[in-house]
Copies of this chain bind each other. A is one copy, B any other.
């Protein structure tokens, strides 16, 4: 339930309203200071509250709105229609994920394999204009016999890459027992698709003071996804970013998953949270990544997460979906003008076109 008050409400009256609202049993009351309005969110067993009685608390109360959706803090109503901004401080400065901000680029390998590859990759993606480096230290793998990530030592390499390039770091945490350790290095904690409904883990990252990128589960409905975000928000962490990475459908012959790009307009109508699109996991093939990245920009995504590897053929995981460094640079040269065209251009300087002027996309997209 959202209680909106007049922005000219005197401080004393405001305090009185707060006190009154906090008297409701089994209800948590939170103040939300928006651009033009002040509101209170009442969360908990609000079904039994009579909105009329709330309105009678003060003449400065302008509106009492019930949030009908099962997700409350994640709902657009919770922020009265205003998009969230998730600002992450990186050595290169603060980067903001949000609808009124430039497109944010996250790039890097599936797994951190060794020092050279992660530092090289970081340097190239930084030079090409990315703001964040992704790289897995702990990898959820279908097979227990597959490479599971280098763990703690990989976290150390990510810290080095951060220092070397100033890029923010995003890496996955899989176990409640690892949250502290991963959070010591990561600027953004990633919850993977397989853990989208790992509730103890959601609560744990919700209790940390770090932004969380929440990947959509392989067959999670949009509502289940927002409910998973709600776990994090409800645990006290307002900095949640939603990442679509393809859903499971009946056809996986040509693509690994099915990129559900229509989440962009749907989420815009439901939630204030920022959106990342991951075309690499969605398609599972590097040749399809550029086209879907371009489509995602036109759809209005706030950010893209793209897998890049210095030598995809030799990658320890997810090689087929990783762009080479060269192809990533070319893709950036294609994407940035489109982002600009769509009003999401970066104020950061664009990469200089040192590579071939003939777009490597021309064949697949023209």
A residues within 8 Å of B by Cβ? 43-44, 70, 72, 99-100, 140-145, 148, 174-178, 194-195, 197-201, 218-219, 221-224, 227, 230-231, 234-235, 247-255, 258-262, 264-266, 268-270, 282-283, 287-288, 291-292, 294-300, 337-338, 341-343, 364-366
For the complex formed, measure the closest distance between the CB of A242 and the CB atoms of chain B, giving whole angstroms.
14
On whether A262 and B283 interact (CB within 8 A), knowing A223-B253, A343-B366, the answer reads yes
**New contact pairs (11) apart from A145-B230, A175-B201, A266-B288, CB-CB < 8 Å:** A99-B366, A144-B234, A144-B235, A174-B198, A221-B251, A248-B250, A250-B252, A264-B291, A265-B288, A265-B292, A298-B338
B287 touches A291 (CB 8 A): no
A247 touches B254 (CB 8 A): no
**Once bound together, how far apart are the Cα atoms of A2 and B174, in whole Å?**
33
Of the A-B pairs whose beta carbons lie under 8 Å apart in the complex, a sample of 26, sorted by A's number, is A43-B145, A70-B145, A72-B145, A140-B199, A143-B230, A144-B231, A148-B199, A175-B201, A178-B200, A194-B198, A198-B198, A219-B248, A247-B249, A250-B250, A254-B269, A258-B258, A258-B262, A259-B260, A262-B288, A262-B291, A265-B288, A265-B364, A266-B288, A291-B300, A294-B299, A295-B296
List the 4 shortest-distance A-B pairs measured between CB atoms, nearest first: A298-B298, A219-B219, A175-B200, A295-B299
From B175, B260, B337, A249 is in contact (CB under 8 Å) with: B260
A253 touches B219 (CB 8 A): no
For the complex formed, measure the closest distance between the CB of A214 and the CB atoms of chain B, giving whole angstroms.
13
